């Protein structure tokens, strides 16, 4: 089975339609979407309508969650205070713009989808707001994959695509109780090779270029391909300005990068709980 | 010489707490710090006497360092002073009737004191808390995956985690670990990553310790002694209500 995985569309209709055309040429059996359909971009309703009309299995992103429940994120949702301030402006704009049926659709999205040995989530299985950065401690990354019961965990949220293979792992542990005796003699925990695949971002890429990114996974060949697609981002930038969103979002989209100052702790783990 | 006594789950049992305090006084080397990892109360009026005793130690006694437990957190939730989690295993376990008990039996002034309690303590290389680094309601037990336990430990940046939610006494040691990874990005071919835990001698192991429960089982309290200098963990069982403490 061959699949395409898209994520973080952020109301960028132009990028989405271009990526869907590219996916059409790849002969995939199924498309999955890792959420964040809305936020930052000028066409949240149009993006949701298109994803719904194509019946694409979709998980709820952090933006989708916050538009439904209200802003309720811990400090890890934004890389800096400035980014948080701008994010709140975008949240208010999107909150006023979206239609009731769009909100209702976002509200019913699951946090995790599972298909055979593949799992799909926005941030991490623990929270839509948690960043699985490629430098996250390897054991913690492995725990996130194992918690889904899958061999490959597809995620987004960071807007930078990557493939991370976790292998040759083992843990030696022992347990003793108050009798002083070991109730479990020294044991070794091992697991097969696992992978985390970050699909990047269709509508608000941050890998250094304005092009949209997504992922193709060929299950028969066990091959992951990171895709980069050019689209007319000028159209989206113009719409951002015309619709009254902060112009700096257009600048960011054109650069393909997050311009905010570096976070104090970019590896911060979300404390919002399981 | 530094020696910590770490206890949890008094659960309104003042007699058990007094027995543990007596056992602590008898220790050699002397106990220098007393940590109470939550669950002072159990929703009955008797819990108030325990809170009063802890807040007002007798002359010459150690001043306990107290953090929140599940019971205290639930009190805050009942009074609208803390957010209700999406899934609340505590309420599932205890049932909804406990909410009215907490409202009726725990005075607002006590709840306000609960509100000031910390989530946990980070001291030296140790984290001391009631549940886990994720939530006060999570019970860590030895049968949980070592990766989950490592996650809860690593989130805090500590190498020692003391917790009380399960009520069990256990010492879970991850002595060694290794993991190799590769990361491929859109602009860069595979980069290797290597992670290790511990050393061949086992001196850099990571520990998760269940500190026991003082009040839940009648006539038998458990708690933990820890020497941060020698890294020695000692579990104590105190039998009370009959002649002699063990």
Which range has the worst mean pLDDT, A56-65, A71-80, A163-172, B65-74? A71-80
Of B172, B179, B222, the CB nearest to A166: B179
Per residue in B181-214, pLDDT (tens digit) is: 999 999 988 899 888 887 766 667 788 999 999 9
Q: What are the C-alpha distances in Å from B70 to residues A61, A128, A228, B5, B234?
A: 30, 25, 48, 20, 25
Torsion of CA B72, B73, B76, B77, to 10 degrees: -140
Nearest Cα of chain A lies from the Cα of B162 at a distance, in angstroms, of 14
pTM of the model: 0.81
**B85 vs A: CB within 8 A:** yes
pLDDT band at A183 (very low <50, low <70, confident <90, very high): low
139-158 of A, contacting B, C-beta below 8 A: 139-143, 146-147
Q: What are the C-alpha distances in Å from B116 to residues A10, B82, B112?
A: 40, 12, 7
pLDDT of residue B84: 81
Which of B131, B181, B185 best tests the A interface by mutation, with the highest count of A CBs <10 A? B181
pLDDT of residue A257: 82
Helix (H, G, I), strand (E, B) or coil at B52: helix
Task: Give the burial string for A104-131 (b: 16+ CB within 10 Å, else e).
Answer: ebbeebebbbeeeebbbbbbbbbbbbbb
Taking CB atoms and an 8 Å limit, are A137 and B195 in contact across chains? yes
**B189 vs A: CB within 8 A:** no
Torsion of CA B86, B216, B106, B121, to 10 degrees: -60
Nearest Cα of chain A lies from the Cα of B156 at a distance, in angstroms, of 10
Name the residue in chain A with its Cα closest to that of B197.
Answer: A171
d(CA A43, CA A37): 9
Pair of tokens at residue B236:
């104590």
Task: Give the residue among B106, B163, B173, B159 at the shortest CA–CA distance from B135.
Answer: B163
Per residue in A42-58, pLDDT (tens digit) is: 999 999 999 999 999 99
d(CA A269, CA B187): 26
Chains A and B form CB pairs within 8 A to the count of 134
Taking CB atoms and an 8 Å limit, are B183 and A161 in contact across chains? no
- Residue A194 pairs with which residues in a beta bridge? A166
Helix (H, G, I), strand (E, B) or coil at B21: helix
Of B146, B182, B183, the CB nearest to A173: B146
Of A164, A177, A271, the CB nearest to B170: A177
pLDDT of residue A17: 98
pLDDT band at B244 (very low <50, low <70, confident <90, very high): very low
Q: What is the ipTM of this complex?
A: 0.86
pLDDT band at A170 (very low <50, low <70, confident <90, very high): confident
Taking CB atoms and an 8 Å limit, are B85 and A165 in contact across chains? no
């Amino acid at each position: 089975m061959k699949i395409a995985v898209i994520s973080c569309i952020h109301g960028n209709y132009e990028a989405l339609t271009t990526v869907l055309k590219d996916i059409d040429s790849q002969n995939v059996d199924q498309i999955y979407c890792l959420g964040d359909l809305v936020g930052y971009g000028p066409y949240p309703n149009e993006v949701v309508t298109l994803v719904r009309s194509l019946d694409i299995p979709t998980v709820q992103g952090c933006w989708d969650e916050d538009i439904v429940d209200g802003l309720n994120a811990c400090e890890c949702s934004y890389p800096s205070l400035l980014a948080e301030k701008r994010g709140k402006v975008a949240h208010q704009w999107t909150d006023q713009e979206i239609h009731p049926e769009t909100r209702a659709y976002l509200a019913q999205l699951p946090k995790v989808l599972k298909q055979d040995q593949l799992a799909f989530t926005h941030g991490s299985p623990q929270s839509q707001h948690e960043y699985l950065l490629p430098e996250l401690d390897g054991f913690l990354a492995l725990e996130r994959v194992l918690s889904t019961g899958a061999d490959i965990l597809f995620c987004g949220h960071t807007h930078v695509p990557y493939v991370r293979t976790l292998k040759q792992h083992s843990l030696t542990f022992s347990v003793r109780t108050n009798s002083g005796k070991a109730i479990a003699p020294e044991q070794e925990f091992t697991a097969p090779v696992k992978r985390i695949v970050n699909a990047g971002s269709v509508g608000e890429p941050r890998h250094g270029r304005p092009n949209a990114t997504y992922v193709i996974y060929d299950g028969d060949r066990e091959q992951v391909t990171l895709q980069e697609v050019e689209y007319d981002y000028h159209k989206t930038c113009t719409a951002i300005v015309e619709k009254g969103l902060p112009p700096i979002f257009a600048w960011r989209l054109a650069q393909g990068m997050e311009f905010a100052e570096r976070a104090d702790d970019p590896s911060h783990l979300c404390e919002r709980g399981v | 010489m530094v020696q910590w006594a770490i206890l949890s789950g008094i659960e309104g049992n003042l007699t058990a707490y007094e027995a543990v305090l007596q056992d602590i006084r008898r220790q050699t080397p002397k106990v220098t710090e007393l940590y109470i990892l939550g669950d002072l109360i159990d929703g009955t009026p008797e819990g108030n006497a325990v809170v009063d005793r802890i807040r007002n130690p007798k002359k010459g006694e150690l001043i306990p360092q107290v953090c929140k437990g599940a019971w205290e957190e639930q009190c805050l939730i009942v009074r609208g002073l803390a957010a209700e989690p999406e899934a609340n295993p505590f309420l599932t376990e205890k049932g909804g009737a406990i909410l009215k008990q907490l409202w009726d039996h725990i005075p607002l002034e006590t709840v306000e004191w609960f509100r000031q309690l910390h989530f946990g303590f980070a001291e030296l290389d140790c984290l001391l808390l009631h549940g886990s680094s994720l939530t006060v309601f999570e019970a860590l037990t030895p049968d949980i995956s070592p990766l989950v336990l490592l996650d809860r430990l690593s989130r805090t940046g500590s190498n020692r985690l003391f917790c009380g939610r399960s009520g069990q006494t256990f010492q879970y040691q991850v002595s060694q670990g290794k993991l190799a990874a590769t990361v491929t990005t859109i602009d860069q071919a595979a980069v290797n990553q290597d992670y290790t835990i511990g050393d061949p001698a086992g001196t850099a192991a990571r520990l998760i310790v269940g500190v026991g429960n003082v009040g839940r089982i009648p006539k038998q309290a458990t708690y933990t002694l820890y020497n941060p200098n020698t890294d020695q963990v000692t579990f104590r069982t105190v039998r009370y209500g009959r002649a002699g403490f063990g």
